[in-house]
């Protein structure tokens, strides 16, 4: 049967092309979607992410506004900038690149973003809406994973889904989205007993544990779908996921590569949320 490699780059390109047409139509109606990205300090990985977000905005026709602040920026200054952007009609989405320097409380910063402009879907209001089944915005990485699973052609209903990782950004919302599609979900983490056994029962595995090549092919049930959210840089600069790709693809029916799997989808979903935010704000939703 062979293993299908789920190409996130191709799927993201398709989604961005649809969004580009949508943005062109919106501009004719006087709606010009705009995304503000704030980066504090000069973390190289954060800079790479911010640049790819800017490039995606250009491709689609979304205005992008970048605010690069010094490493020693204070919390008040950052929240002051967010308050200004909350009131700026040209800005439909506000994204603060995480992690932030240690003098800044991430929760306070996230809470200061207007939920209607929170295109990352990290604000407690948006998290609450997701939990109760009425989301306005879907968190970008889990939403991208759902698109990739859909692309694999599998119906999630009734499937055993194992999410490895319980972060607020990926693990928890991922579990909620799989549940919303009638999956039977187990969330595993560093304190889970018999982790390997739980993974072996899974029809769908979403790995977001942050450990390079942690999940081996012999952990995986034949025919399972493996979505690798991890991105780890090895000493030789090579990027690998949380799954050992070569051994896993011998067993899985579908798998995402790293790089080129979930990463491009996260950015495509961010663009989708920004366009959605522009429409909602214009319509007063």
Any idea where the domains of the chain sit in the sequence?
30-115, 140-263
In the set 117, 118, 120, 272, the catalytic residue is: 120
Annotated binding site: 165-167, 231
Helices (H) and strands (E) in the chain, counts: 10, 11
ω before 99 within 30° of 0 (cis)? yes
Strands across the sheet containing 34-40: 63-69, 34-40, 93-96
Among this protein's residues, is 97 annotated catalytic?
Answer: yes
What confidence score (pLDDT) does residue 1 get? 61
What confidence score (pLDDT) does residue 236 get? 79
Domains 30-115 and 140-263 share a fold: yes
Residues making up the chain, counted from first to last: 285
Among this protein's residues, is 281 annotated catalytic?
Answer: no
What confidence score (pLDDT) does residue 281 get? 96
Question: Is the CATH number of domain 140-263 3.90.700.10?
Answer: no
Annotated binding site for NADP(+): 165-167, 231
DSSP 147-162: HHHHHTT---TT-EEE
Kindly state the DSSP code that residue 252 receives in the 8-state scheme. -
Multiple choice CATH, 30-115, 3.40.30.10, 1.10.3470.10, 3.40.50.10860, 3.40.190.170: 3.40.50.10860
What is the residue-level pLDDT of the chain in tens, covering all 285 positions?
A: 689 999 999 999 999 999 999 999 999 999 999 999 999 998 888 999 999 999 999 999 999 999 999 999 999 999 999 999 999 999 999 999 999 999 999 999 999 999 999 999 999 999 999 999 999 999 999 999 999 999 999 999 999 999 999 999 999 999 999 999 999 999 999 899 999 999 999 999 999 999 999 999 999 999 999 999 999 988 877 899 999 999 999 999 999 999 999 999 999 999 999 999 999 999 875
What confidence score (pLDDT) does residue 234 get? 87
- DSSP strands (E only) in 89-134: 93-96
In the set 97, 117, 118, 242, the catalytic residue is: 97
Among this protein's residues, is 72 annotated catalytic?
Answer: no
């Amino acid at each position: 049967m062979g293993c299908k490699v789920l190409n996130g780059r191709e799927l993201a390109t398709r989604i961005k092309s649809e969004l580009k047409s949508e943005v062109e139509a919106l501009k004719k109606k006087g709606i010009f979607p705009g995304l503000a990205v704030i980066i504090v300090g000069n973390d190289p990985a954060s800079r790479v992410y911010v640049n790819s977000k800017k490039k995606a905005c250009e491709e689609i026709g979304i205005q992008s506004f970048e605010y690069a602040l010094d490493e020693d920026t204070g919390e008040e200054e950052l929240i002051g900038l967010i308050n200004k952007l909350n009131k700026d009609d040209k800005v439909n989405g506000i994204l603060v690149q995480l992690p932030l320097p240690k003098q800044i409380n991430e929760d306070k910063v996230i809470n200061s973003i207007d939920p209607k402009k929170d295109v990352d879907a990290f604000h407690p209001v948006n998290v609450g809406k997701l939990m109760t089944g009425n989301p306005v915005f879907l968190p970008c990485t889990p939403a991208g994973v759902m698109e990739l699973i859909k692309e694999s052609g599998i119906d999630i209903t009734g499937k055993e889904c194992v999410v490895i990782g319980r972060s607020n950004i990926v693990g928890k919302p991922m579990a909620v989205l799989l549940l919303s599609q009638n999956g039977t979900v187990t969330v595993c983490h560093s304190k889970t007993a018999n982790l390997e056994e739980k993974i072996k029962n899974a029809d769908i595995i979403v790995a977001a544990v942050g450990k390079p090549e942690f999940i081996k092919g012999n952990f995986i049930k034949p025919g399972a779908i493996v979505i690798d959210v991890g991105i780890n840089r090895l000493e030789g600069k090579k990027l690998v996921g949380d799954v050992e790709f070569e051994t896993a693809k011998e067993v899985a029916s579908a798998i995402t590569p790293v790089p080129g799997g979930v990463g491009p989808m996260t950015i495509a979903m961010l663009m989708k949320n920004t366009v959605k935010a522009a429409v909602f704000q214009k319509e007063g939703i």
